[in-house]
Structure 1
Amino acid sequence: MRKLKAGASINEHGIVYTRTATDGRWSVNVMIAGQRVHKVVGFESQGYTRQQAEDYVATLKATKHERETGIVAPRNRKSFSLADAVDDYLQYLREHGGKDLDNKVRRFEQHVVPHLGKLKLHAITDDDWARYVVKRKGEGAKPATINRERSALLHLLNTARKRKLLRDVPALERQVEPPGKLVYLSPAQGQRLLKAAESDQSEHALPFVMIALYTGMRHESILALRVRDVDDERRILWVGDDKAGQREQPMPSILATYLRELVRGRAADAFLFASARAKSGRIYQASAIFARCVERAGLGTGITPHTLRHTAATNAAHAGLDSATIQGLGGWKTRAMADRYTHAANLSVAMDALGARLSGTVTPELHRGSGKRR
């Protein structure tokens, strides 16, 4: 290129460099879909290089591919990695009201991208996922955690297919989760937790425990509530950011009365769990506050904010509500997730009935044993 005289050119695979009297010009001269494309891309003095010419040809070929197959090809497939796709996907969610965005960002940034980010989006296979699972298990991740990361990755891939960025999506084998113990608080334990929250040094302790205990809302959804989301007259909380999407969350009168006083005189856009130090204007998590209340209430270990979600559902089941109603109250995606609460409540009722039936039929002599061998 440096040795070219003015007016001379070099042509390689349709990319043409021409030396002018004072500059260097990049252009393309290629056949695309049976049509000759001859176009000046730019000049050296403007900062153009061979890369811009190559990118332009790649764009022309991708457009041809889209017309023929309906599949949108990445404009620069060589550099369109999973990491690039994650950035594009998260931006797409922000622009289209995506759900559970904070958790998706965390799972991608902390785990998926560090392990799989360099792979090309269109070339990810089930074998790549299997290797990822082995690495995550080696890091101590449990099957449930890996399955949540799988859900985030599958949503990215299926969204890309819906947007015609991908033709096929791998299955990504789901990990078998061991059956978990259904942990919930008794009414007496719930009252102890409320008293502990009432005496906590944080102003957010009691509102968080009240909302979680009486509605079963998810941790993140509670913290995202604003004053305008509280409708104490209809006894409704408007949930705008939840795994189940936007919905109305019913609440009992005791919580509606409490929240009416809590939001009185506050601006409609104000967060219920405001924080002047946080960039978003609200606290990001209440786990430390909650753990302090649990300890003060003497509830032992293993009690988390999610325990109150189980507690609300269990109380609803014991009150006689059916699975469909409980599903709507808690925002579960499937009926099966609500069935376990009604199943447990039915078993409890059955055991009470069995105990009442058998009471008085076991004599003290038979219960103690006669001490004689027969």
Structure 2
Amino acid sequence: MVNKISKQNLQKLEVGKSITGEGLEVRKTSKGLVFYASTQVHGKRLRDKIGTEQHGMNLTKARIKLKELALSIPENIDLTVAQPNITFSDAAKIYISTSQESGGKNIPQKQQQLNMHLVPYFGKLKIKNISTLSVEKYGHQRLQAGAAVATVNREFATLRHMLNSLSEWGVAETKHIKVKNKSGEKQRVKTFSTEQIAKMLRCAENDHDRYTYFFVLIGFQTAMRHKEILRIRFEDFDFENLTLHIPEAKAGSRVAPIHESLAQVIRDEQRRRGVEAGYLFEADSATGHRTYMKKQFERVLNAAGLSGQGFTPHCMRHTAISITMRSGVSVADAQVISGHKSTQMLLRYTHHNNASVARGVNALASATACNDANAPVKNHVGGDAA
């Protein structure tokens, strides 16, 4: 095993070999380099995958990512025994590190919630001294600071999972802490009208950031989520079959259908850059791609005269799904476009049609050979027509 990490040594690295150093381990596979954060805890090496060369990771980005991860666990903590006096801050480090090692989900989001809000509030407190009241006070303070109820509840979900995990791992006793979600009126997600969509696309095309148009067009045409869009790679497109592979969708890897018009836009951009692979929203960052487009989206809203009306990037997804459902496709087919894990989630986008219901009742009457099967069914069903 080579023990010095450098660009030159990485180029010479043979398949199956690895290099360690600077808190990193880099292994060469048949598909390229794989980068790991590597740290020692009481003689045990913890390895956490940072990224792969195939998906844009390199040595410089790995070094930056290593600093962001902050994986080090204090040397005075022995993971083999319970820690009755462990602080929230140290417990959070163990939670993130162990979750990464075991392939946990949504680690970057959880780490951001911990680093930005939960650790600054609970950090120096010992886990045993945190109470249900402490958690309720945290939630109240976040709401007073302007955080949405949904945002606080997502932070509570991370806190709840962390406490449960620490208890299961035998690190700390946490059953005395109850984390209850905040209640509040559920805000209805706004949808764009056809005219507003046209305005958004025109303004996005005229924005000084060329990525803005791609973001808005893909948002309205595919119903993809904000972060899913920004992780798109050119090689994920199958132009022949008009599909897009989404490897890290919320409900798991999936393949989404795309329209020929979108495929043409992507092909044109690919030819303009002269590349076959890489991120569509490429950026000089640790991830290799843009991670946020909210400012650009708000700029387009302002240009379209729609600012201050409660629109967010997620409204593009909501609009796209609503349009799909109104077009008359089945719920199962709409699920292919939306990427929902279950069809149950799509039912909130549906509205029954009285005429359609009447046709269904007539069909049942015909099938059971009723004497007046051909008689029209009176409209006794309430609700709006689609």
Query: TM-score band (shorter)?
Result: 0.5 to 0.7
Partner of 1:316: 324
Aligned-pair Cα RMSD in Å:
3.2
Q: Is the 8 A contact 2:230 2:280 kept in 1?
A: yes
1:248-294, CA deviations, whole angstroms, 9 ceiling, x for partnerless residues?
333233223322332343242x2111123x34332221112112222
Partner of 1:331: 339
Partner of 2:359: none
Q: Look up the equivalent residue of 2:149 and give its one-letter code.
A: P
Partner of 1:186: 193
CA distance in structure 2 between the aligned counterparts of 1:283 and 1:342, rounded to whole angstroms: 34
1:117-144, CA deviations, whole angstroms, 9 ceiling, x for partnerless residues?
2333466442332122222223232311
1:144-200, CA deviations, whole angstroms, 9 ceiling, x for partnerless residues?
121111112123234445545466654411111313123111223212211221221
Shift of 1:225: 1.9
1:319-338, CA deviations, whole angstroms, 9 ceiling, x for partnerless residues?
12344544453334555532
Shift of 1:84: 1.7
Instruction: From 154, 158, 180, give the equivalent of 1:152.
Output: 158
Q: Does 1:128 find its partner at 2:127?
A: no
Q: Percent identity?
A: 31
CA distance in structure 2 between the aligned counterparts of 1:291 and 1:348, rounded to whole angstroms: 39
Matches within 5 A, 1:60-79: 73-74=81-82, 76-78=83-85
User: Does the C-alpha gap of structure 1 residues 342 and 240 become closer, same or farther in structure 2, counting only changes over 3 Å?
Assistant: same
Q: Is the 8 A contact 2:298 2:307 kept in 1?
A: no
Partner of 2:112: 106
CA distance in structure 2 between the aligned counterparts of 1:164 and 1:334, rounded to whole angstroms: 35
Partner of 1:19: none
Q: Look up the equivalent residue of 2:117 and give its one-letter code.
A: H
Q: Is the 8 A contact 2:89 2:124 kept in 1?
A: yes
Matches within 5 A, 1:272-291: 272-276=280-284, 278-291=285-298
1:189-243, CA deviations, whole angstroms, 9 ceiling, x for partnerless residues?
2122112212211110111111111112111221122222222233332223343
Deviates more, 1:162-171 or 1:255-264: 162-171
Q: Does 1:340 find its partner at 2:348?
A: yes
Q: Does 1:204 find its partner at 2:211?
A: yes
Q: Is the 8 A contact 1:86 1:156 kept in 2?
A: yes
User: Does the C-alpha gap of structure 1 residues 250 and 324 become closer, same or farther in structure 2, counting only changes over 3 Å?
Assistant: same
Shift of 1:96: 4.4
Partner of 1:259: 266
Q: Is the 8 A contact 2:224 2:317 kept in 1?
A: yes
Partner SS for 1:204 = helix
Partner SS for 1:181 = coil
User: Does the C-alpha gap of structure 1 residues 175 and 329 become closer, same or farther in structure 2, counting only changes over 3 Å?
Assistant: farther
- Larger Rg computed on CA atoms: 1
Partner SS for 1:238 = strand
Q: Is the 8 A contact 1:327 1:337 kept in 2?
A: no
Instruction: From 298, 321, 337, give the equivalent of 2:305.
Output: 298
Q: Is the 8 A contact 1:322 1:342 kept in 2?
A: no
Matches within 5 A, 1:196-275: 196-264=203-271, 265-268=274-277, 270-275=278-283
Structure with the larger helix share: 1
Partner of 1:11: none
Shift of 1:348: 11
Q: Look up the equivalent residue of 1:229 and give its one-letter code.
A: D
CA distance in structure 1 between the aligned counterparts of 2:339 and 2:126, rounded to whole angstroms: 36
User: Does the C-alpha gap of structure 1 residues 349 and 240 become closer, same or farther in structure 2, counting only changes over 3 Å?
Assistant: farther
Shift of 1:247: 2.7
CA distance in structure 2 between the aligned counterparts of 1:303 and 1:98, rounded to whole angstroms: 32
Q: Is the 8 A contact 1:225 1:239 kept in 2?
A: yes
Q: Is the 8 A contact 1:99 1:242 kept in 2?
A: no
Q: Is the 8 A contact 1:324 1:338 kept in 2?
A: no
User: Does the C-alpha gap of structure 1 residues 300 and 237 become closer, same or farther in structure 2, counting only changes over 3 Å?
Assistant: same
Partner SS for 1:249 = strand
User: Does the C-alpha gap of structure 1 residues 235 and 85 become closer, same or farther in structure 2, counting only changes over 3 Å?
Assistant: farther
TM-score for both structures, normalised by structure 2 = 0.63
**Which runs of 5 or more residues in structure 1 are unaligned?**
1-54, 64-72, 351-356, 358-374
User: Does the C-alpha gap of structure 1 residues 236 and 244 become closer, same or farther in structure 2, counting only changes over 3 Å?
Assistant: same
Q: Is the 8 A contact 1:100 1:241 kept in 2?
A: no
Q: Look up the equivalent residue of 1:230 and give its one-letter code.
A: F
**Which runs of 5 or more residues in structure 2 are unaligned?**
1-74, 357-377, 379-386
Q: Does 1:86 find its partner at 2:95?
A: no
User: Does the C-alpha gap of structure 1 residues 159 and 230 become closer, same or farther in structure 2, counting only changes over 3 Å?
Assistant: farther
